[in-house]
Amino acid sequence: MRKLFAAPLPRPDPFLVGILLLALALRAWGLSWGLPSATHYFSYHPDESVVLETATGMNVFTGHLLPHFYNYGSLQLYLVCFANTLGALFGGLEIVPKDFAVWYPQWAKMYLIGRWLTVSMGVGTVWAIFAIGKHLWGRRAGLLAALTLAIMPLHAQHSHFLTVDVPATFWAMLSLLWAVRLATGEPKPWKAALWAGVFAGFAAATKYNLALIILPLLAACFLTRHKSGAAIALAAFVLAFLVACPGAVLESGAFLRDLRFEAVHVQNVDDPTFRGTGSGFIYHITRNLTAGLGLPLLLLTLVSVGYALYKRERGDGLLAAFALPYYVLIGLAAIKYARYDIPLLPILALWNGRLLADWMRAPGALWRRLSAQFTAIAVLGLTWVWCVRLVGFMADQDMRDWAYRWVNSPISATNSSALPTVGFAAQPWFGSVPLSPYFSMPRPGGWVTETAPELRKRIVYDGKDWDTELLELKKPDIVVLSEFDYMDTLRLKDPAALRYFAALKRDYKRSSVFVDNNSALSTQYVLLEGMPTRDWPHDMLYTNPIITFYQRKPAPTP
């Protein structure tokens, strides 16, 4: 009897399957967080709407194939457009925008489709890290590295979002995998150079600064003395980038304009979010990675980086060829979002995996191996707990939704005949209570022209932040403050904000504070002028800002 296959199919690694399922569960849990609803027609994440708005502006059937927007690379925009086109063809999805008041359920489905793409790429990155670790340091190191990335809180949280950071990292790690294969004796070096170049081009076409992932590939070609491989890699890189981002040539003027805008933006020293926060090289470690990894894993990571410096193996050089230039790039920038660290997380996971694997098989006394295993279990266990806490916010009711119901309930009204007028200290946007369903539009301030006139009368805000004169003139029944409104202005002791709070404390009393229950278990609060805030990176707070209400004190009786 003839065999159906020349060789049996490889059996899946049960440990790897378990890790991938864990990664999937942590990234799919709470995936419906912040989706458009009857109360807010756009996502609570400010960048998701920009991505989806641009992707839906393209249409393969009408020939509109260019995004006309190049602040981000185009590849993920094309993938989201393609996925939604499939949804329209086979899933009954209606992708022609109509009145948002009736069309928001379709809009929500499109967000969800894009988020599932990010989830799949986040899980795919975990698999790629296993493969890289296995090639460099063996199966155990690969599994431990994959497990570390699977439970990294920052990576798990941002794998929920329809943004470009996790997808770009996915393509970068596929490129790194093929570069490692080239450096470790791939039988067909031209094939490894080709695929590494293609995936590096895709990474750059998703997020431009990940063009740096070409450096490990060039290092691998140098180490193996494969000169033709470098030529193949560079040609594949350029061609893949242009195929995935054709506007770089077809709309070169718009491409260069938006690329220049992003280059200037990351050096905006006047951005209050990061003003006075010191060196980016320190900030990314002490703030972003402390929150994004958790302190136990961060300490282990610092040890693993030191161990890599001590070992200085070929694999360490390949990883550092990307990690070091990228860290310098984001460290020099004035803007220091935690999401900028996401491409570094797989590299750190690999070094952690190698360190733990070496500890566990180190020769010598049994107690040393047992202590290494205990350390691994303790650190990874605490990291998993923090990851579950962070992702758990997204599975709960968002505080903005709770606050919306409160501000529109009879308990918040000053009398029984009308709902209260509501003052906003700063421009209402994604972090605000969605009194208008248009607050969370992609660009702040767009709600003004879209909000119905009768609802607009309830909103006390005239375009100037921390306007004490408006507060004293209009005397809104309620003032609502989001953590995003005051966390940086009070940290910087902004005079206008301090005057506003002085008037607020004089004429109003704090009535309600909406805080997710999980936060009391996992964080400590910093009080700024008596206002609670958390010492987290700005973009890790998108999922659960604190909302505080003040009610006007009754007029004193004569």
Q: Hey, what are 153's tokens?
A: 């809180």
Domain of 547 in residue numbering reads as 399-552
Q: Is residue 109 part of a domain?
A: yes
Same structural domain, 317 and 408: no
Pick 453 or 416 by higher pLDDT: 453
6 within domain boundaries: no
**What's the one-letter identity of residue 224?**
T
Res. 501 pLDDT band, cuts 50 70 90: very high
Pair (43, 18) in one structural domain: yes
385 and 459 in a common domain = no
Which of 31-45, 185-199, 222-236, 355-369 is predicted least confidently? 355-369
HSE (side-chain half, CA atoms, 13 Å) at 114: 29
Backbone φ and ψ for 514, nearest 5 degrees, come out as -105, 115
pLDDT above 90 for 434: yes
Residues 6+ apart with CB under 8 A from 543: 33, 34, 44, 157, 390, 393, 394, 398
Q: For residue 154, with 0-12 CB atoms within 10 Å meaning exposed, 13-18 middle and 19 or more buried, which class applies?
A: buried
Identify the helix (H) or strand (E) that includes residue 547.
strand 547-552
Q: pLDDT at position 1, please?
A: 41
Distance CA 556, CA 213 (A): 67
Q: Could you tell me the two tokens for 364?
A: 């010598």
What does the pLDDT read at residue 413?
Answer: 56
End-to-end Cα, the chain, rounded Å: 105
The CA distance from 248 to 76, in Å, is 15
292 and 417 belong to one structural domain: no
pLDDT at 519: 45
What does the mean pLDDT of the chain come to?
90
**Residues 345, 431: one domain?**
no
Residue 527: pLDDT over 50:
yes
Q: Note whether residue 558 is domain-resident.
A: no
Query: What pLDDT score was predicted for residue 474?
Result: 93
Helix (H) or strand (E) segment spanning residue 513? strand 508-514
Residues 415 and 373 in one domain: no
| Token pair belonging to 16 | 């790897």
343 with 441, same domain: the answer is no
Q: Which of 339, 373, 393 is the last residue of a domain?
A: 393
Widest CA span in the chain: 105
Domain closes at, from 332, 363, 393: 393
pLDDT, greater one: 431 or 90: 431
Contact 177, 63 (CB under 8 A): no
pLDDT band, very low/low/confident/very high, at 180 (cuts 50, 70, 90): very high
Note the pLDDT tens digit of each residue in 34-90: 999 999 999 999 999 999 989 988 876 677 889 999 999 999 999 999 998 888 777
> What's the number of domains the chain is made of?
2
Does 385 share its domain with 414? no
User: Do residues 525 and 442 share a domain?
Assistant: yes
Helix 345-360 × helix 295-311 angle, to 10°:
70
Chain position carrying tokens 């403050």: 481
Same domain flag for 457 and 376: no
Q: Are residues 452 and 379 in the same domain?
A: no
Enclosing H/E stretch for 551: strand 547-552
Q: Are residues 371 and 477 in the same domain?
A: no
Instruction: Give residue 116's pLDDT.
Output: 97
Which residues have CB under 8 Å from 502's CB, separation 6+? none
522 or 431, higher pLDDT: 431
Of 393, 415, 442, which residue is a domain's last?
A: 393
